[in-house]
Amino acid sequence: MKARVHVMLKNGVLDPQGEAVRHALGALGFDKVGGVRQGKVIDLDLADDATEADVAEMCEKLLANTVIESYSIEMQ
């Protein structure tokens, strides 16, 4: 079993990496980008009996800083 976790900064939290990417895109001539939010994707190879609740617990304890980040889980 596999799971993919998407971790993003919560709305209202400043994203300096995203702003740097937006600025760099503008410098390269990509002027149609109004904003960028950067996040991370974590792919997990899990035991067959793992559940989405197990992955959520991993996120809450380690994979995401839930004070400033939100996450979504895709079980595959």
d(CA 1, CA 43): 11
Q: For residue 26, what pLDDT is reported? A: 96
Structural domains of the chain, count: 1
Closest CA to 34 of 23, 43, 45, 42: 23
- Residue 18 is encoded by which pair of tokens? 């995203």
| Containing structural domain, residue 35 | 2-75
Give the pLDDT confidence score for residue 32 in this predicted structure.
97
What CATH number is associated with residue 57? Answer: 3.30.1280.10
Q: Pull the structure tokens for residue 24.
A: 């760099």
Taking the chain (76 residues) in runs of 10, the rounded mean pLDDT of each run is: 98 96 97 96 98 98 98 97
